[in-house]
Chain A
């Protein structure tokens, strides 16, 4: 029996890793050195598309200070014709070609060789001495160009509709019969949209430090969203067995999905193996922008039909997403999430995975879902306008609820979408007055969330405190949530709980930090481990008191008899029982490993106010409220932080961020000056309204919260811009040149 009084769950405690991070002591990927360490650098293709006829590394190898050179010959080949070899969502056939080009370079920045030398400068110099004979090929970057009948084909083996194609795959979610559905509709709105590729924008560039001993024992120090993913991919690409690779998770300086794959680790491992020296590699910002995954640019068409009373009867979405050099754009998110907030009888949602000569996409916060929601939620705004309905009322009329069958498959259990709409409608923000050139928009969003494999150990120290080890890199404060939960369960002050992230050889397999799964999954395993520890503590007390363990309860950090009938004993605290442990059965601790189930999807509804500077075309967000069903806010500050961070990224995506390509097919803005992420003076305070509809399948009611908040943002901003100007924008970003051009358009016409 374990008495929980909710003393710590829901408290804004200080995070376990906080002091290290405010004093500069926390060690991130680039912050560590090893004795004898040398530096690795990557030679990258200058061409968007080129056949590699030969690579000559002799001159580079001869340069004094150079210790090793690797090319694709050194990397394990997963042959295309042998079929997919999946690791999570990644196919190793593409991964082995993405970390190092084999027969073809497919984007500017694609690695073609890597060098390790005694200094960074020598390694960079050696890269220039490598002779690559390229046969430059025609290229296509934009979706329209990649889909042209005569488009250059990136992967010649691929056929779509029987013809060579850059469309690498199609998926669909279907429900009912849309042809019938649209016949039933009184009003039908159909619009097409485009979005640009945007980068995750983590401030910490990819970096690693790797040592390979003469016996093959390998130590990897790197920052990623999964040390086990790093170990598995490095093992598969280098041939070193997983048992010989210890991947240590450094503190990670932001990921947002972009660090769910490897770029440098296999190269540094091979360089370290060849040279016999530890090798450090750190990307420049330019390399990050050119060669690591942004998310897809997109082209979407969405058609929605409704009855006069606002009942939506049919919806059709088709989403073309740029995968970049290799298949794997997030069409599943666009297809599955876009219509999920609504109960619609006839739905067809289809996605097309389009390769083009641009860096391979990596996951970005609710991958694909914001792209789909942007199109759907903008069409809903037009539908509400056509029906003369309040946009929230339209959504409420059609909101998914318990029992609704989503087009992507599941029948929803108890969900909190309607609660978010009600909360938005009743929020003072929604009724606040607006001034000239100001406008308000709303939009909703859904993300699947995820469970999956997690492991944890809960150990009681000899002095009666607690160490929790989990296997998920903590990006946004998950350790703080775990500390709260563990303190709650054990009935002790949260400061007595130390939470650390174990490396691959010290904690059991734990899947990626991704899919908004970390607190959901790790608190499930930590809860079970803590329950086991509490069972042990009660048994120990029972043994000491010579009573039945069932007659012992755990409360406020101590064992007590359940009632006076059980006997009169002084409570035995955690410290007492830890002290007596050696004589009462030994160390106290438990580990649990699970494939966690029961992660339920999350819903959010956002309200955005903008003001447009009509002289300069600048759109400013002046007020923002994010409402979300968060299940249970275990640490409200970090839940709010997830909402605020997602909103800020969405505002960037909506208003400024985009990859710009020059005439040679190269990214023309590969730095923070020209790739314009929101800075502090661009944003207002970002208000959050947390709706808590607990997840019945989780011991603390937790739902994933990290990804939903990016999903509605671009549509909310676009709808607000329409409200301010009476003009709709069908392509992102709504940057000053685009807004100015739209504002000038009628004036120009009038002048003619």
Chain B
């Protein structure tokens, strides 16, 4: 079967690529697009390590076909820092030691950013349920939840 031609946008940049019809978005990102920040922990949508946004909506890139990116806007962890400046969530994760091995961190950050984009003042319960699709085996989630809550508070303060 011939490869499919896909025109899309990744982290604000126009991108074109060829993919197999069965290829996942995660494989396209990690393979030919060279964006290995999104990780494959399960390939079944259970761990969230491959989290990206598609037109602002949080998705597991392992469950999305690469061809489905056609005409849409993809954002990945690589697009989160603006130039040399870390996103407040990234900074707060560092300050709170909200990562240990770091394999879940990309997905955690992408998911957290998607949460704060729609809810600037989440309760602890809302944070916990929103991040329930992102597995972390190292931290017990404590410092992650604190980092997200504190970032939200600071971003609200900044937005005033």
Chain A residues within 8 Å of B, Cβ to Cβ: 12, 14-15, 17-19, 21-28, 30-31, 200-205, 251-256, 282, 284-285, 475-477, 480, 635, 637-638, 640-641, 644-645, 647-649, 671-673, 677-683, 685-686
* Cβ contact within 8 Å between A671 and B139: no
Bound-state Cα–Cα, A649 to B138, Å: 8
Q: Which residues of chain B have C-beta atoms less than 8 A from A673's C-beta?
A: 44, 46
13 A-B residue pairings within 8 Å (CB atoms)? A21-B102, A24-B36, A31-B36, A204-B39, A204-B103, A254-B100, A285-B42, A476-B100, A637-B96, A641-B100, A645-B138, A680-B128, A680-B129
CB of B139 within 8 A of CB of A23, answer no
Residue among B40, B76, B80, B142 with the highest chain A CB neighbour number at 10 A: B142
Nearest-neighbour CB distance to chain A for B147, whole angstroms, equals: 10
Interface residues of B in 126-146 (CB under 8 A from A): 127-129, 131-146
Bound together, the chains give a CA A12 to CA B93 distance in angstroms of 12
* Chain B residues whose C-beta falls within 8 Å of the C-beta of A683 in the assembled complex: 128, 140-142
Nearest CB to that of A674 among chain B residues? B46
Q: With CB as the reference atom, state the residue of chain B lying closest to A24.
A: B37
B78 in the interface (beta carbon within 8 A) = yes
Complex: chain B residue closest to A675, CB-CB: B46
CB–CB B40/A30 < 8 A: yes
Q: Which residues of B contact A205 (CB under 8 A)?
A: 40-41
B106's nearest neighbour on chain A, judged by CB, is: A24
| A476→B139 CA distance, assembly (Å) | 9
Task: Please give 14 more A-B residue pairs, beta carbons under 8 A apart, in addition to A12-B95, A23-B86.
Answer: A12-B97, A15-B94, A19-B94, A24-B37, A27-B36, A204-B39, A285-B47, A635-B97, A641-B97, A641-B140, A645-B137, A672-B47, A672-B135, A683-B142
Query: In whole angstroms, what is the CA distance A27 to B30 when docked?
Result: 12
**Cβ-closest 4 pairs across A and B:** A24-B37, A253-B103, A648-B140, A21-B102
Contact A645 B140 (CB under 8 A): yes
B132 surroundings in chain A (CB, below 8 A)? 679-682
The A-B contact count (CB < 8 A) is 177
CA distance A679 to B145 in the complex (A): 12
- What CA separation (Å) do A255 and B135 show in the bound complex? 15
- How many residues of B are counted as interface, with CB atoms below 8 angstroms from the partner's CB atoms? 55
Cβ contacts under 8 Å, B117 to chain A: none
B105 at the interface (CB under 8 A from A): yes
Given contacts A203-B47, A203-B49, A205-B41, contact A645 B144 (CB under 8 A): no
Q: B66-109 vs A: 1/0 string, CB under 8 Å?
A: 00000000001110110000100010011111011111111001
**A23 near B97: Cβ-Cβ < 8 Å:** no
* Min CB gap A453→B, angstroms: 23
- Contact B135 A203, beta carbon cutoff 8 Å: yes
Shortest CB–CB separation between residue B87 and chain A, in angstroms? 8
Q: Select which of B81, B95, B97 is within 8 A of A477 by beta carbon.
A: B97
Residue of A nearest to B138 (CB): A645
Contacts of A204 in B (CB 8 A): 39, 41, 101, 103
Q: Known contacts A203-B47, A476-B138; is A22 also within 8 Å of B99 by CB?
A: yes
**Given A23-B81, A254-B101, residue A28 in contact with residue B39 (CB < 8 A):** yes
Which of chain B's residues has its CB closest to A285's CB?
B42
* Minimum CB distance partner of A480 in chain B: B97
Chain B residues, CB < 8 A from A23: 37, 77-78, 80-81, 86, 90
Is there a chain A Cβ closer than 8 Å to B35's Cβ? Answer: yes
Given the known interface contacts A644-B140, A686-B142, the answer about A24 and B131 at a Cβ–Cβ threshold of 8 Å is no
- Taking a contact as CB atoms under 8 Å apart, the answer to whether A638 and B97 are in contact is yes
Q: Which residue of B lies closest to A682 (CB)?
A: B132
Which residues of B are found within 8 Å of A638, using beta-carbon distances? 97, 100
Give Cα A683–Cα B145 distance, bound, in whole angstroms. 11
Given A22-B94, A27-B36, decide whether A672 and B86 contact each other with a Cβ distance below 8 A.
no
Please give the distance in Å from B69's CB to the nearest CB on chain A.
18
Contact B134 A680 (CB under 8 A): yes
User: Are B44 and A22 in contact, with the CB atoms below 8 A?
Assistant: no
Q: Restricting to B10-69, which residues have a CB under 8 Å from any CB of A? A: 30, 35-44, 46-47, 49
Instruction: Say whether B140 contacts A647, CB under 8 Å.
Output: yes
CB-CB under 8 A for A285 and B41, given A14-B95, A24-B78: yes
Distance (whole angstroms) from the CB of B1 to the closest CB of chain A: 12
Given A21-B102, A204-B41: A677 and B137 interface contact (C-beta under 8 Å): yes
For A678, the chain B residues whose CB sits under 8 A away are 140-141
B143 x A637 contact (CB < 8 A) = yes
Chain A residues whose CB sits within 8 angstroms of the CB of B134 once the complex forms: 680
Most chain B CB inside 10 Å of its own CB: which residue of A18, A26, A27: A18
- Which residues of B have CB within 8 Å of A681? 125, 128-129, 131-132
B42: A residues at CB distance < 8 A: 285, 671-672
Verify A14–B101 contact, CB threshold 8 A: no
Are the CB atoms of B102 and A26 closer together than 8 Å?
yes
Interface centre among B49, B100, B136 (most CB of A within 10 A): B100
B contact residues around A671 at 8 Å (CB): 42, 44, 46
Bound-state Cα–Cα, A203 to B107, Å = 12
Contact across chains for B99 and A685 when beta carbons are under 8 A apart: no
Chain B residues with CB under 8 A of A644: 139-140, 142-143
Given the complex, which residues of B lie within 8 Å of A282, measured CB to CB? 40
A672 touches B96 (CB 8 A): no
CA–CA, A201 to B135, complex, Å? 10
**Closest CB of chain B to A608's CB: distance in Å?**
13
The docked-state distance in angstroms from the alpha carbon of A15 to that of B101 is 11
Q: Tell me the smallest distance from the CB of B23 to a CB of chain A, in Å.
A: 10
Measured between alpha carbons, how far is A117 from B135 in the docked complex, in Å?
Answer: 32
Chain B residue nearest to A254 in the complex (CB): B101
CB-CB under 8 A from B103, the residues of chain A are 28, 202-204, 253-254
A251 CA / B80 CA spacing, docked (Å):
21
Q: Which residue of A lies closest to B104 (CB)?
A: A203
Q: Pick the residue among A17, A30, A285, A641 that contacts B138 (CB under 8 A).
A: A641
| Complex Cα–Cα for A477 and B101 (A) | 8
Among A24, A285, A682, which residue has its beta carbon within 8 angstroms of that of B77?
A: A24
Which of A21, A200, A672, A673 has the most chain B CB atoms inside 10 A of its CB?
A21
Minimal Cβ-Cβ distance residue in B for A207: B40
Do A672 and B44 touch across chains, with their CB atoms under 8 A apart? yes
Q: Assess whether A645 is in contact with B145, with CB atoms less than 8 Å apart.
A: no
Query: Across the interface, which residues of A come within 8 angstroms of B104, CB to CB?
Result: 203
